[in-house]
């Protein structure tokens, strides 16, 4: 089987090849490592690779398969976002502050994949401490969108996004604090899912905003995401926000027909700010759902417009607290020269953090200060409750909510770096689900033309009620049975961009 053909397979297809001994995990892993060597210098999706560790896991997986004790993902190469601690691996969070940190233990998500027999291909690039919407804030350099190297892949999970889109892994993990799985999934043309808050443990996942952060799968299709959720989800007593729920089979409803499904279309998602070309792709996707027997319901989420200001009060407030631990004493970057303890703190943090992280720490510290707590932080928490209530009312009228995942296709690198507000508005359609703790996903729905470049991917966002991931995956899977957008891969140019 040709290398390119092999890299475009599904998780289920890889499992069948491995079980039938048509290919070994070692061969499959080597095929992906070869693609990484060929294309990663151009794309910068991976920032940590360890071929010896990776191949050792592949050999162990082959032994497990030979012994007849394989699980569905045994032997399949997965990329891990560099926000997850993995024992013996650099875990940098895309920051100079942690550039030399090697994790002494595994995050829960990593240990779950290890237990399943999956192979860790490497750690993927990301916006520094997950703060960004374009993967341009990484200390290790920006990531390029595989569909057009002059465009961003989205963020903060841009490295994982580019790796999935460029077929440099079978699937990848990401985290979503305000859209950091769904927005890059839309911009890079693959399927990404943010679960209900608390369904996937945050233990060993370096914190940005603890009440918003959630790990999730990034893969080619809804079926692949379902298989990954079967591994990732589950109670973890080490995480105080992990929900003690029975294990689910997220593949159980994939084949259910959609006749009678009620799809809610929020008018706020189709208002000013949405690119006309992106809007047309979303309308075409909705038309496909009508053919599948779904019913369309017009709904309203009246507080959607407040989600950006609420998020950029609450998330920086939590970040300022979480990042206070990086002081150059216990771990993290320490300045080479300083006069006293306070000078060491100041210089270490000034050198270790990038501009966007500093901006959010300053905002967070400001809104938590004694004179402004009630005016900003408390008020934002009250509006957060109103945003969640909007969804409660909406789900009385529909089963799932649909709309765009991002207001435009991938923009050019550097285009929004000097305009933080324009960058923040990239998450206008995704942030509200994080504030409410709801599950959401982005599914490839087509391509929209760009004025000065190629047609680029567009993602359809599907939002479900709490713990309704299986239904969302069913809705996405049925759409992917009648469309082929999720099977399309970019033609990668040779050489360094």
14 by DSSP, 3-state: which?
A: helix
- In a 13 Å sphere around the CA of 21, the CA atoms on its Cβ side amount to 6
- Counting beta carbons within 10 angstroms of the beta carbon of residue 272, is it exposed (0 to 12), middle (13 to 18) or buried (19 or more)? exposed
Residue 445's nearest CA partner among 155, 222, 268, 146 is: 222
Q: CB–CB of 220/9 below 8 Å?
A: no
Query: What is the set of active-site residues?
Result: 81, 156, 180
| Planar angle of CA 121, 230, 392, nearest 5 degrees | 120
For residue 77, give every residue at least 6 positions away whose Cβ sits within 8 Å of its Cβ, in sequence order, or none: 25, 28, 29, 32, 54, 58, 118, 119, 120, 121, 169, 170
Question: Angle between the 307-322 and 355-368 helix axes, to the nearest 10 degrees?
Answer: 100
Taking CA atoms, 127 is separated from 66, 82, 109, 176, 470, in Å, by 40, 10, 20, 12, 29
Q: Let me know if 451 is exposed, middle or buried by CB neighbors in 10 A (0-12, 13-18, 19+).
A: exposed
Residues 6+ apart with CB under 8 A from 222: 191, 254, 441, 443, 473, 474, 476, 477, 480, 486
End-to-end Cα, the chain, rounded Å: 28
Longest dimension (CA), the chain: 71
Q: Quickly count: other Cβ atoms within 10 Å of residue 50's Cβ.
A: 16
Task: Say how many C-beta atoms besides its own lie within 10 A of residue 360's C-beta.
Answer: 25
Instruction: Give the Cβ contact number of residue 24 at 10 Å.
Output: 18
Give the whole-angstrom CA distance, residue 354 versus residue 95.
7
């Amino acid at each position: 089987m040709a290398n390119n053909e092999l890299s475009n397979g599904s998780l289920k297809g890889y499992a069948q090849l491995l079980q039938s001994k048509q290919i070994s995990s070692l061969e499959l892993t080597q095929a992906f490592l070869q693609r990484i060597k060929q294309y990663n210098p151009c794309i910068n999706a991976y920032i940590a690779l360890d071929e010896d560790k990776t191949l050792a896991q592949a050999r162990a997986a082959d032994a497990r398969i030979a012994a007849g004790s394989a699980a569905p993902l045994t032997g399949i190469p997965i990329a891990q976002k560099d926000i997850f601690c993995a024992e013996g691996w650099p875990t940098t969070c895309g920051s100079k502050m942690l550039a030399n940190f090697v994790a002494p233990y595994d995050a829960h998500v990593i240990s779950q994949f290890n237990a399943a027999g999956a192979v860790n291909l490497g750690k993927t690039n990301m916006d520094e401490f997950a703060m960004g919407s374009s993967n341009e804030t990484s200390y290790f350099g920006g990531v390029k969108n595989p569909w057009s190297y002059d465009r961003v892949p989205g963020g903060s999970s841009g490295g994982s996004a580019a790796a999935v889109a460029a077929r440099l892994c079978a699937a990848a993990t990401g985290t979503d604090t305000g859209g950091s799985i769904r927005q890059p999934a839309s911009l890079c043309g693959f399927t990404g899912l943010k679960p209900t808050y608390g369904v996937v443990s945050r233990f060993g996942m370096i914190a940005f905003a603890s009440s918003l952060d959630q790990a999730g799968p990034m893969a080619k299709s809804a079926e692949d995401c379902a298989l990954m959720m079967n591994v990732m989800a589950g109670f973890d007593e080490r995480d105080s926000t992990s929900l003690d729920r029975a294990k689910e089979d997220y593949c159980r409803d994939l084949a259910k027909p959609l006749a009678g499904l009620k799809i809610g279309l929020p008018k706020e998602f189709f208002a000013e700010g949405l690119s006309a070309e992106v809007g047309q792709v979303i309308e075409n996707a909705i038309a496909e759902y009508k053919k599948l027997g779904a019913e369309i319901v017009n709904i309203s989420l009246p507080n959607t417009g407040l989600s950006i200001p609420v998020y950029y009060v609450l998330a920086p407030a939590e970040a300022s607290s979480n990042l206070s631990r990086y002081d150059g004493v216990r771990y993290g970057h320490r300045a080479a020269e300083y006069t006293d303890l306070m000078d060491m703190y100041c210089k270490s943090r000034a050198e270790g953090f990038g501009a966007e992280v500093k901006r959010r720490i300053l905002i967070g510290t400001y809104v938590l200060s004694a004179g402004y707590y009630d005016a900003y932080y408390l008020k934002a928490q009250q509006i957060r409750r109103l945003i969640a209530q909007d969804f409660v009312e909406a789900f009385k009228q529909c089963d799932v909510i649909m709309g765009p995942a991002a207001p435009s296709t991938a923009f050019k690198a550097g285009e929004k770096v000097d305009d933080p507000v324009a960058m923040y508005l990239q998450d206008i359609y995704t942030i509200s689900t994080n504030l409410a703790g709801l599950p959401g996903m982005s599914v490839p729905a087509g391509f929209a033309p760009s004025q000065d470049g190629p047609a680029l991917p567009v993602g359809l966002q599907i939002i479900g009620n709490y713990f309704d991931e299986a239904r969302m995956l069913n809705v996405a899977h049925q759409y992917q049975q009648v469309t082929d957008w999720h099977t399309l891969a970019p033609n990668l140019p040779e050489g360094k961009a």
